[in-house]
Chain A
Amino acid sequence: MNGVPLAAYLALGLFMFTTGVVGVIIRRNPIVIFMCVELMLNAVNLTFLSFARYQFAAPVGLSEANGNINGQAVMGGQAMVVFVMAVAAAEVAVGLGIIMAIFRLRKEIDIDDMNLLRG
């Protein structure tokens, strides 16, 4: 929006990211840890998108004189968000499958007790 500084969007993204980091460190339920990882991925999405929207002056290395297409700089942030969403979807499917397989084996999920790389 006009009138909102870029720092406001970046501050929200940074706050969500650090909240996700706290959640990954503190929580012991692996599903909640997974949700905090998703929170961090969304914070990164917001940062990419806000930098893509507020096109301030590009540094010298990214200018057209070096053969870089200007359109790539504008739409690159959005394409990155699309790819992060797709990777997060695939990761959630496989990760929750792993958690369910562990639970089927052990009947409890406490992340501090799982310190061996075997079942």
Chain B
Amino acid sequence: MQITPELMLFGGIASVAAAAAVGVVAFNNAVRSALCLVLNFFILAFIYFTLNAEMLGIMQIVVYTGAIMVLFLFVIMLLNLGAPQMLRDRDDPKTFAGIALSVLLFALLGSQLLPAFLTVTQPGAPKDFGAPQNLGRVLFTNYVIPFEAVSVLLLVGVVGSILLAKRKI
């Protein structure tokens, strides 16, 4: 596996994303966790751009960073919880066991899956892989039934969240 400039660029971007992912779990303060997740989603959109999926990268920024994380931040601010210290102190053995088990999971999955794909370095998809025209055509021809099902799901989500937010039904 040679060290090409593209690999170094990807390494730089991916290390920021990985650090932000660790920051989501590590910070006690919920607002800092949410902001780390915003950074992670934003960097992930740039990784989608390096994979030539422009439409999905923009959708990642608009949907995940711009809507879902804003919703999370609104709920965190609205709940306005007290000091997070009380939720942390009694938990030391679970923290250590959780980190040890996740390192074990990473090693187990990584050792079986990653070496098989170390030699695949040339992307095989066509040049306009992530163009909106191709994605839209596929969504409306091959995957039209899941597309309609997702629209019903979004309707159910809207009705459900309005129902949950009302004080008197």
Q: Which residues of A contact B (CB under 8 A)?
A: 1-12, 14-16, 18-23, 25-29, 31-32, 34-36, 38-39, 42, 45-46, 49-50, 52-56, 69, 71-72, 74-76, 78-79, 81-83, 85-94, 96-101, 103, 108-110
Q: How far is the CB of A2 from chain B (nearest CB, A)?
A: 6
Question: Chain B contacts of A90 at CB under 8 A?
Answer: 153-154, 156-157
What number of A-B contacts does a CB cutoff of 8 Å give? 254
CA A97 to CA B75, docked complex, whole Å: 9
Select from chain A the residue with minimum beta-carbon distance to B36: A35
CB proximity to A under 8 Å, residues B147-169 = 150, 153-154, 156-158, 160-161, 164-165
- Given A26-B98, A100-B78: A7 in contact with B18 (beta carbons within 8 A): no
| Contact A25 B98, beta carbon cutoff 8 Å | yes
Cβ < 8 Å to A, chain B residues 17-61: 17-18, 21-22, 24-25, 30, 33-34, 37, 40-41, 44, 47-48, 50-53, 55-56, 59-60
Q: Verify A12–B17 contact, CB threshold 8 A.
A: yes
Question: Are A42 and B64 within 8 A (Cβ)?
Answer: yes
Secondary structure class of chain B's binding surface, majority of residues: helix
A84, chain B: closest CB distance, angstroms: 10
Q: Is the CB of A5 within 8 A of B120?
A: yes
- Secondary structure at the A interface, as helix, strand, loop or mixed, is helix
Residues of chain B lying within 8 A (CB to CB) of residue A88: 64, 68
B87 and A110 contact, CB distance less than 8 A: yes
Q: How far is the CB of A58 from chain B (nearest CB, A)?
A: 10
Taking a contact as CB atoms under 8 Å apart, the answer to whether B25 and A83 are in contact is: no
B95 at the interface (CB under 8 A from A): yes
In the assembled complex, 19 residue pairs joining A and B whose CB atoms fall closer than 8 Å, in A order, are A3-B7, A14-B106, A15-B106, A16-B21, A18-B102, A42-B64, A52-B125, A53-B52, A53-B124, A74-B126, A74-B129, A76-B142, A79-B142, A85-B59, A86-B150, A87-B150, A89-B67, A109-B79, A109-B81
Asked if residues A16 and B164 are in contact (CB atoms below 8 Å), the reply is no
Closest-by-CB residue of B relative to A11 is: B114
What are the nearest 4 A-B pairs in CB distance? A55-B124, A90-B157, A97-B164, A3-B4
Using known A-B contacts A23-B24, A29-B30, determine if residue A82 contacts B117 with beta carbons closer than 8 Å: no
Within 8 A of A (CB), among B91-119: 91, 94-95, 98-99, 101-103, 105-106, 109-110, 113-115, 117-119
